[in-house]
Amino acid sequence: MALAYLGVLLLVPLGLIFWRTFQHGAAPVWHSLTTPTALHAFRVSGIVAFWSVLLNTVFGIGAALLLVRHRFPGKRLFSALIDLPIAVSPVVVGLALILVYGKFSSFGGWLQGHGFQVIFALPGMVLATTFVSLPLVVRELAPVLTEIGIEQEQAAWTLGAGRFQAFRRITLPAIRWALGYGIVLTLARSLGEFGAVAVVSGRLVGQTQTATLVVDESFQNFDQATAYAVSVALAVIAIVILVVVNLMRPEVKA
Amino acid sequence: MATLWLSLLVLIPLGAVIWRANDKGTGAFWRAVTGPEAASAVKLTVAVAVVVSLINVVFGTLIAWVLVRDQFVGKRFLDALIDLPFALPTIVAGLVLLALYGVNSPVGVELAYTRAGVVMALLFVTLPFVVRTVQPVLLELDGDAEEAAASLGAGKFTTFRRIVLPNLVPAIAAGTALSFARAMSEFGATVLISGNLPFKTQVASVYTFNQIQSDNTLGAAAVATVLLAISLLVLLGLDVIQRWAVRRG
Amino acid sequence: MTESTRLVRRAAAVAALIAVAAACGSSTSSGKAATGSTSAGRTLPAAQLALVAYSTPQEAYDKIVAAFNKTSEGKNITFTKSFGASGDQSRAVESGLAADDVSFSLEPDMTRLVKKGIVAPTWNADPYKGMITDSVVVLVVRKGNPKHIQTWADLTKPGVEVITANPFTSGGARWNVMAAYGQAVKAQGGSDQAGRDYLAALFKNVPVQDDSARKSLQTFTSGKGDVLLAYENEAIFAQQKGQAIDYVTPESTILIENPAAVTANSKSPEQAKAFLDYLHGTEAQTIFAEAGYRPVLPGVKSPYPFPKPAALFTIADFGGWADVSKTFFDPAGSVMADVEKAKGVSVG
């Protein structure tokens, strides 16, 4: 019964996308994917996703450690706040970023005066993407960190290891699968983000257009071939990474 | 350090939205939020999010169970595919769902422009959440307690209900929290299929978008603030449930 | 550059434009009489211009920029281009998106920038009133017009599904509403009530109101509805992209005018102005015409018939956008607010 549910919800749409994309063979798909606009867009998506993953990994490790190992007032609120980005509509994210970093706000205007263009440039897009994928690494790491406890690290400290050394040699290997999975989810989410980025990107052709924006634009311009081709490319990239990571965890998914 | 980062990224922009909502005083805020269309959109969003989350609790747990306890051909593949809704950009999900359930539906099911269509779109987008939080817990559970119960004569369902389920509640709660939050905010997948019919199928995120497009940022910020507050309450509430279940179990 | 210098330059440019327009108008041009459309043919210093435009003319602009780069004036000028929904683009520029030349689908998107001081209030002081292309509201139907929709009256018949975007979020839909209102008013000898009655009857037949004109076109082409209210150039665009639709140009409809301007804070005002002038020239107007837009420059050849409706009216007949926005589209109380409320539909 569960399988039927899955089938209807997941497999049928998946099948439909692939069908519609490859209806006329693989050549037109390749052609759509290698236009300068598409290539630029993949590059922009890649850069934005890279920064988002990097920032969220660092934050994720820090926040997970904080949540699991420390007590502090407001901890539960902190935890809920980390999940909040998933509850925020992408439109609101864009609005919020413009309110704060837009040219006509005090902070944003000051930044722009000093040569920092945040909105309508890559930094704003990175901020938006990082925001929407904030909880992913944290949520993967927290349960595992809870599991492994802190004893081993403490032992290392008493034996004279530095904090970072202990972290690198003891904790990191223990959490590497959860971390890897969290990173992959963040990557997938970052590549697929549309709503928030659409508002803050400025849609400069060849400069601040991400792959998802190209999908939207092509679809709106009745260029369904490009829209589906790029969508499938994005999905395949993420699926491949997901499958690879899943396969590399034999002890967990046996 | 992490808190500094969090504050920069999350709190300041969200604070700006709340600030903007109160720009013209609380009176204007209330008016913006209790207007018939705004209220309707918020009610619909919450209702749909609840329905979707409940469905996910049942099916998410079921799917996690099947993926952990059963063996069948293509299981690994299916397991990896659960994350597909994450991988797919939301507008792509919207496009495909519209193609599937729209006017020229290849499967003959026309759900576009209806509430059922909105629910379908949200179910797709929130599929992974409960499944992924429950799976690791199920894997951890050793079968001893269940075997003991079986040997004492308990039926399968009773065993599930009394032994397995309590252990799963925290994970289900966590997954439901995420599922609810996501359903509240989803935009890309729903904007195409909902048809934007106010009082019928207009969810709050689309209403917010419309407000921005009508240059009514105050109205948009006001509704966004209400949604944030509701989400925060639900997240905290589910966190409480999690804690309570852990203490009991 | 001081204010007065800028004004003098602008006046000179306008004068040049008038001269050029006169020259173009009087010649029986064969379309590509290129150099007559640019002023003096001198080479401008290198610059990068940011073009921010609405989405439909994207292909046209790509061609126009390429052509501009071939002229002596434009050969050192590079462009960054941005395309999106007209309202979104206007709001982006308002929030700080850098732009030298802006081009929108309707005037209120330009007025928004004038209010913020991003575009000078004199932007429409030229003979074209700041407009670079025109269009009309047409009735888009399925290929072959199976339901035989020919007139506005057909739209209020029972069982007919009319698709239009929501006028509170879509500028394009506002043109639709004014066209519908206007033709009813004119048909009844000027009665405002007749116009309101028609709008109420029309919107009874509207099942879905997407938030943008382009989305409503998508909704229609994906199979929903019997007739769509849209810009003529949108219909032509869809046809060019292989969509199976036809369109009927009603006898009575509104003239849609698309504005373009340079921004007041442009870092390369001379080059920006040169490009804007180029848009009014024969080459650019021909490219627009080939894309389905009605050129503002007289005498430009086009592959499309652009039939002239017998009773064509403009927004000026109803007091211009400033008045119309207030009377018809104010969410707090207006003609459309009443119509939509009666239907229980989205008001802005």
* Segment among A57-61, B25-29, B184-188, C228-232 with least mean pLDDT: B25-29
Place of tokens 């409503």: C216
Contact of C21 with C132, CB cutoff 8 Å: no
User: Confidence band (pLDDT; 50, 70, 90) for C16?
Assistant: very low
Using alpha carbons only, give the angle A83, A89, A95 rounded to the nearest 5 degrees.
Answer: 115
Question: Which of chain B's residues have a Cβ under 8 Å away from the Cβ of A16?
Answer: 96, 99-100, 106
Question: Which of chain C's residues have a Cβ under 8 Å away from the Cβ of A227?
Answer: none
Cβ atoms within 10 Å, residue C73: 22
Helix (H) or strand (E) holding C230: strand C227-231
Q: Which residues pair with C81 in a beta bridge?
A: C51
| Average pLDDT score over chain A | 80
Query: Does A62 lie at the interface with B, CB-CB under 8 angstroms?
Result: yes
Cβ atoms within 10 Å, residue B138: 17
In order of A49, B139, C287, the CA distances from A241 in angstroms are: 14, 23, 45
Calpha distance C47→A140 (Å, rounded): 50
Calpha distance B129→A114 (Å, rounded): 42
Helix (H) or strand (E) holding B119: helix B115-140
Give B61-83 pLDDT, tens digit per residue.
888 888 887 777 777 777 777 87
Q: In degrees rounded to 5, what are phi and psi of residue B169?
A: -55, -45
Please tell me whether residue B29 adopts helix, strand or coil conformation. helix
Contact of B150 with B108, CB cutoff 8 Å: no
Q: Determine whether the interchain pair A87/B93 forms a contact, defined as Cβ–Cβ distance below 8 Å.
A: no
User: Confidence band (pLDDT; 50, 70, 90) for C7?
Assistant: very low
Give C86-120 pLDDT, tens digit per residue.
888 898 898 888 899 999 988 989 999 999 899 99
Q: Given this model, what pLDDT does residue C42 score? A: 77
DSSP state of C121: G
How far off is chain B from C221, nearest CA to CA, in Å?
A: 10
Q: pTM of this prediction?
A: 0.79
For chain C positions 34-73, those within 8 Å of chain A (CB to CB) are: 50, 55, 58
How far off is chain C from B231, nearest CA to CA, in Å?
A: 24
User: Confidence band (pLDDT; 50, 70, 90) for C20?
Assistant: very low
Q: Reply yes or no on whether the pLDDT at A121 is more than 70.
A: yes
Q: Given this model, what pLDDT does residue C120 score? A: 92
Q: Reply yes or no on whether the pLDDT at C15 is more than 50.
A: no
Residue of higher predicted confidence among B128 and C347? B128
User: Which of C105, C109, C127 is closest to C119 using CA atoms?
Assistant: C109
Tell me the percentage of chain B whose pLDDT exceeds 90: 1
Q: How many residues does chain C have?
A: 348
User: Confidence band (pLDDT; 50, 70, 90) for C276?
Assistant: very high
Q: Reply yes or no on whether the pLDDT at B170 is more than 70.
A: yes
Q: Reply yes or no on whether the pLDDT at C9 is more than 50.
A: no
In this complex, the chains that touch B, judged by 3 or more CB pairs closer than 8 A, are: A, C
Q: What 3 state SS string does chain A have?
A: CHHHHHHHHHHHHHHHHHHHHCCCCHHHHHHHHCCHHHHHHHHHHHHHHHHHHHHHHHHHHHHHHHHHHCCCCCHHHHHHHHHHHHHCCHHHHHHHHHHHHCCCCHHHHHHHHCCCCCCCCHHHHHHHHHHHCCHHHHHHHHHHHHHHCCHHHHHHHHCCCCHHHHHHHHHHHHHHHHHHHHHHHHHHHHHHCCHHHHHHHCCECCCCCCHHHHHHHHHHCCCHHHHHHHHHHHHHHHHHHHHHHHHCCCCCCC
Q: Given this model, what pLDDT does residue C12 score? A: 43
User: Which of C53, C56, C55, C54 is closest to C237 using CA atoms?
Assistant: C56
| Average pLDDT score over chain B | 77
Calpha distance C107→C102 (Å, rounded): 12
Using alpha carbons only, give the angle B131, B135, B138 rounded to the nearest 5 degrees.
Answer: 135
How far off is chain C from B140, nearest CA to CA, in Å?
A: 48
In order of A109, C11, C40, C93, C263, the CA distances from C100 in angstroms are: 19, 19, 22, 10, 5
Question: Which of chain C's residues have a Cβ under 8 Å away from the Cβ of A108?
Answer: 96
Question: Which of chain B's residues have a Cβ under 8 Å away from the Cβ of C210?
Answer: 195-196
How far off is chain A from B231, nearest CA to CA, in Å?
A: 6
Q: Given this model, what pLDDT does residue B195 score? A: 66
Give chain C's largest Cα–Cα span: 62
Find the residue in A nearest to B139 (Cα). A252
Q: Determine whether the interchain pair B103/C346 forms a contact, defined as Cβ–Cβ distance below 8 Å.
A: no
User: Confidence band (pLDDT; 50, 70, 90) for A249?
Assistant: low
User: Which of B101, B55, B90 is closest to B193 using CA atoms?
Assistant: B101
Contact of B247 with B235, CB cutoff 8 Å: no
Q: Which of C55, C81, C82 sits opposite A220 (nearest CB)?
A: C55
Q: Given this model, what pLDDT does residue C140 score? A: 94
Q: Which of B10, B63, B205 sits opposite A131 (nearest CB)?
A: B10
Give chain B's largest Cα–Cα span: 68
User: Confidence band (pLDDT; 50, 70, 90) for C249?
Assistant: very high
Calpha distance A91→C178 (Å, rounded): 30
Cα A20 to chain center, whole Å? 26
Name, in order, each residue with C-beta under 8 angstroms of C44's C-beta and a sequence gap of 6 or more: C73, C74, C76, C77, C270, C271, C274
Q: Reply yes or no on whether the pLDDT at A174 is more than 60.
A: yes
Q: Determine whether the interchain pair B98/C223 forms a contact, defined as Cβ–Cβ distance below 8 Å.
A: no
- Report the pLDDT averaged over residues B122-126: 86
Q: Given this model, what pLDDT does residue B109 score? A: 66
How far off is chain B from C317, nearest CA to CA, in Å?
A: 24
Cα A145 to chain center, whole Å? 22
Q: What six digits make up the tokens of C30?
A: 């064969």
Q: Given this model, what pLDDT does residue C133 score? A: 94
Contact of B63 with B82, CB cutoff 8 Å: yes
Place of tokens 């422009």: B113
Q: Determine whether the interchain pair A194/B88 forms a contact, defined as Cβ–Cβ distance below 8 Å.
A: no
Q: Given this model, what pLDDT does residue B157 score? A: 73
Q: Given this model, what pLDDT does residue B119 score? A: 85
Q: Given this model, what pLDDT does residue A44 score? A: 92
Calpha distance C289→C233 (Å, rounded): 9
- Report the pLDDT averaged over residues B209-225: 79
* CA neighbours closer than 13 Å in the CB half-sphere of residue A228: 22
Name, in order, each residue with C-beta under 8 angstroms of C298's C-beta and a sequence gap of 6 or more: C24, C25
DSSP class per residue in C26-74? HS---S--GGGGSSTTPPPPPEEEEEEEESTTHHHHHHHHHHHHHSTTT
Tell me the percentage of chain A whose pLDDT exceeds 70: 89
In this complex, the chains that touch C, judged by 3 or more CB pairs closer than 8 A, are: A, B
Name, in order, each residue with C-beta under 8 angstroms of A121's C-beta and a sequence gap of 6 or more: A202, A208
Q: Reply yes or no on whether the pLDDT at C232 is more than 90.
A: yes
Q: Reply yes or no on whether the pLDDT at C321 is more than 50.
A: yes
Tell me the percentage of chain C whose pLDDT exceeds 90: 40
Q: Given this model, what pLDDT does residue B231 score? A: 81
Q: Reply yes or no on whether the pLDDT at C257 is more than 70.
A: yes
Which of A12-21, B166-175, C123-132 holds the top average pLDDT? C123-132
Calpha distance C59→C257 (Å, rounded): 19
Question: Which of chain B's residues have a Cβ under 8 Å away from the Cβ of A215?
Answer: 89, 91-92
Calpha distance C214→C31 (Å, rounded): 30
Give A92-115 pLDDT, tens digit per residue.
888 888 878 777 666 666 666 666
**Each residue of B139-159: b (16+ CB within 10 Å) or e?**
beeeeeebeebeeeebeeeeb
| Average pLDDT score over chain C | 83
Q: What six digits make up the tokens of A84?
A: 């909040």
Calpha distance C299→C16 (Å, rounded): 19
Find the residue in B nearest to A140 (Cα). B133
Q: Which of A135, A191, A252 sits opposite B139 (nearest CB)?
A: A252
Q: Given this model, what pLDDT does residue A112 score? A: 66
ipTM of the complex, rounded to two decimals: 0.76
In order of A206, A221, C50, C266, the CA distances from C47 in angstroms are: 18, 30, 10, 11
Q: In degrees rounded to 5, what are phi and psi of residue B183?
A: -65, -35
User: Confidence band (pLDDT; 50, 70, 90) for A245?
Assistant: low
Query: Does C339 lie at the interface with B, CB-CB under 8 angstroms?
Result: no
* Segment among A81-90, A224-233, C79-88 with least mean pLDDT: A81-90
Residue of higher predicted confidence among C261 and A133? C261
Q: Given this model, what pLDDT does residue B248 score? A: 63
Q: Given this model, what pLDDT does residue A108 score? A: 66
Cβ atoms within 10 Å, residue B25: 9
Q: Given this model, what pLDDT does residue C130 score? A: 92
User: Which of B209, B235, B237 is closest to B223 using CA atoms?
Assistant: B209
Residue of higher predicted confidence among C152 and C42? C152
For chain A positions 3-32, those within 8 Å of chain B (CB to CB) are: 3, 5-6, 9-14, 16-17, 20
Q: Reply yes or no on whether the pLDDT at C153 is more than 60.
A: yes
Q: Determine whether the interchain pair B81/A239 forms a contact, defined as Cβ–Cβ distance below 8 Å.
A: yes
Calpha distance C47→C111 (Å, rounded): 27
**Each residue of C272-295: b (16+ CB within 10 Å) or e?**
bbbbbbbbbbbbbbbbbbbbbbbb
Q: Given this model, what pLDDT does residue A30 score? A: 84
Q: Given this model, what pLDDT does residue C40 score? A: 52
Helix (H) or strand (E) holding B236: helix B217-248
Q: What six digits make up the tokens of C228?
A: 């769509």
Name, in order, each residue with C-beta under 8 angstroms of C57's C-beta and a sequence gap of 6 or more: C103, C133, C288, C291, C293
Calpha distance C115→B160 (Å, rounded): 66
Q: What six digits make up the tokens of A222?
A: 């009745």
